Structure 1
Amino acid sequence: MDISKASNFERFIFQMTGSDGIATSGLWQTLGETGQFDLRSLQPHAWARVQESGMVSGRSTHANRLETIRDLDQRYRRVIDTHTADGVCIGRRYLEPGVPMICLETAQPAKFEESILEALGRPAPRPPGLEQLESLPQRVQNISQDVEALKRFIEQHALQ
């Protein structure tokens, strides 16, 4: 799972640069071209803010994700998604005795059907109220790639 260009990470970097859009754009361009950027050398003030923030990071593998999903399911009867599993896996590496850690769910497990099936051998539960959603008929309406056409479509169909 490559989330190196995740929008929430970009927002974090934007805040660390002092809300400098040009600096953030430059970092993202470097990331796109080289697969990385070095905040320490390119934006030393931003790097200082990162250090002050207490933000930490880590890496987890697909196997780590699956094991974390299984572990939380077995211990707490809680099915988590793959992104949350990454957070829990990495968070556990930074646990300190006597210091509670909270890990917030980042997505619905049902969005990651293949990984949940692989981890647990069963599909992810559907969110309450959406259990039958997939069995309902699907409606598709093609419209032109035009903002005004989209606005008209929304106006005509919003209250149906």
Structure 2
Amino acid sequence: MPQEQQPAWTRLPLAQRFASALIDLDGVVYHGTTPVAGAVDALTSARSAGLRTLFLTNNASRTPHEVAALVTELGLPTTERDVVTSAHAAAALAARRIPGARALMVGGVAMKTALWEHGLTPVHKADDDPDLVVQGFAPDVDWRQLAEAAYAVGRGVPWIVTNS
């Protein structure tokens, strides 16, 4: 449709069309600890125009506090309330499915923190009688953690995993 036939609101900048934006981090705002070219400037402008930003990441190895600190270092002041990690999403789902569950944890400190913050008790072995398995990436995930998860899942324990 030609631009002159589009409704007037569709020609406004996104920051004026929407109140909030959900923004992926990895590869969109940064690569590792390096900002994506133009991302900080564009998001700063959008925020100045009134757009609220909520940052999302499927990286379960960092806490929201750590992610917020990284985004802030890049030049976008951010608090942990402005960040949702896959570890927190998985823990929230687990807590909704089985409140107060014993969760066999596959992951690192960020996953353990997310489980505690959602009222779940992290356990580390299939023989600890877990109610479910919650798995997320962390550099220190090893074959022992994966084996324990496999034993529990093989027994029919529900499995929540954040990413491959």
Do Structure 1 and Structure 2 share a fold, with TM-score over 0.5? no
Structure (1/2) with the larger strand percentage: 2
Structure (1/2) with the larger helix percentage: 1
Higher RCO, Cα 8 Å, sep 6+: 2
TM-score after normalising by structure 1: 0.24
Higher Cα Rg: structure 1 or 2? 1
